Amino acid sequence: MTDSNLPPQDPNAAPQPTPSAPLSHEQDVQWGSFAHLGGILGILPSLIIWLVFKDRGSFTNTEGKEALNFQITLVLATVALWVLTTIITVVTFGFGALFGFLTYLPWILGVIFSIIAFMTAKDGNHYRYPFAIRLIK
């Protein structure tokens, strides 16, 4: 094929991204389990893994969404507990601050359930958190 047979290209056109190669089964399971384990650090690792690998592996897509939904639930629970603790502290003239330790409960649960989910997902099994608001379908 000669250059004259090629369609003309616009020099100002943005380059088209090349599709990424699909993950192998082992890589798919690895990144899916890392999406859960990243929950120990917060919501960002799960979000980044899901966004980067969701189109490259079905296991990673499913597990990334599950981990991300759980992390969103924990963020919402943490905010709610902070607001509740603040209101109780104000109403009780400072004595409610003794319940401030409850604001760490979502993080503790997040660490525990993230490790359990990682241990399950690394073997290639799907994990579903016992409580999570599933906003991302």
List of residues 6+ apart from 13 with CB closer than 8 A: none
Percent of the chain with pLDDT over 90: 59
CA 13 to chain centre: 34
* pLDDT value of residue 18: 63
Domain that holds residue 99: 24-121
134 part of a folded domain: no
pLDDT band for 2, please (50, 70, 90 cuts).
Answer: low
Average pLDDT (111-132) is 94
pLDDT at 79: 94
- What pLDDT is stored for residue 3 in this prediction? 55
In a domain, 126, yes or no: no
The verdict on residue 112 lying in a domain is yes
Please, what is the angle between helix 58-91 and helix 105-121, to 10°? 170
For the chain, give the mean pLDDT: 87
Alpha carbons 113 and 49: distance in angstroms, whole number: 18
Question: Residue 8: what pLDDT?
Answer: 62
